[in-house]
Amino acid sequence: MNWNISHRADPMALPIADRHYNRQKPGSPQFVPPGRCLVLLRKDALWVTSWPMYARHRWEGAWVNTCFRNEGDILSSLLIRDGVAATIWKYPITPKLGMITFINTEKVRKKRDWGRCYRKAGFVPDGETKGGLIALRLHPSDMPKPKVPNGASLSLFEDRVPGICR
């Protein structure tokens, strides 16, 4: 596992979050949208899975990778697979639509194709948003097995049941 467990207002993650192109308010202490979430951190990378209660797009109910930034030398596709595996560990009942991520083609460098690291991790194109963002989706059958992120532990009372919001 390449990730350490973190949280939505981790001051160690804030500088990396502030450098992500979709950051709404750089410098604000929280960098995750409202709702259930999983935040994973390395010294050189950040991953956020959001599971919003309500979404205004056609992938409502899917996990959303709202932030992924890799500034290190580990392959992004490996970090993405581990991020998905940790998400499955946290939320063992996978949504029917799986996981979705959105790419703003005006804010990222194009490689061979948009979202290449996601495609190498198993995500496939799944249309566009009304605002023109490219959607890439990982179907549940293509997801890796669950993995526990470094530093994670569960208490007897921790929420791992979908539909319960804390």
> How many Å apart are CA 116 and CA 64, to the nearest integer?
17
User: Hey, what are 46's tokens?
Assistant: 């950040």
Average pLDDT over residues 3-7: 95
Report the pLDDT value the prediction gives residue 154, as an integer from 0 to 100: 65
Report the pLDDT value the prediction gives residue 164, as an integer from 0 to 100: 38
Report the pLDDT value the prediction gives residue 25, as an integer from 0 to 100: 76
> How many Å apart are CA 146 and CA 154, to the nearest integer?
15
Nearest to 138 by CA among 89, 104, 71, 87: 87
Q: Name the CA radius of gyration of the chain, rounded.
A: 15
Q: Which domains are present in the chain?
A: 4-142 (3.40.630.30)
AA letter at 68: F
**∠ CA 89-94-95, rounded to 5°:** 145
Report the pLDDT value the prediction gives residue 163, as an integer from 0 to 100: 40
Give 96-123 pLDDT, tens digit per residue.
999 999 998 888 877 778 899 999 999 9
The label of the residue with tokens 């939320």 reads 91
**Residue 98 near residue 84 (C-beta atoms within 8 A):** no
Report the pLDDT value the prediction gives residue 49, as an integer from 0 to 100: 97
Least confident of 104-113, 124-133, 136-145: 104-113
Report the pLDDT value the prediction gives residue 159, as an integer from 0 to 100: 52
Q: Report the length, in residues, of the chain.
A: 166
More confident residue, 36 or 156: 36
Report the pLDDT value the prediction gives residue 158, as an integer from 0 to 100: 54
> How many Å apart are CA 47 and CA 31, to the nearest integer?
11
Give 36-92 pLDDT, tens digit per residue.
999 999 999 999 999 877 777 789 899 999 999 999 999 999 999 999 999 999 999
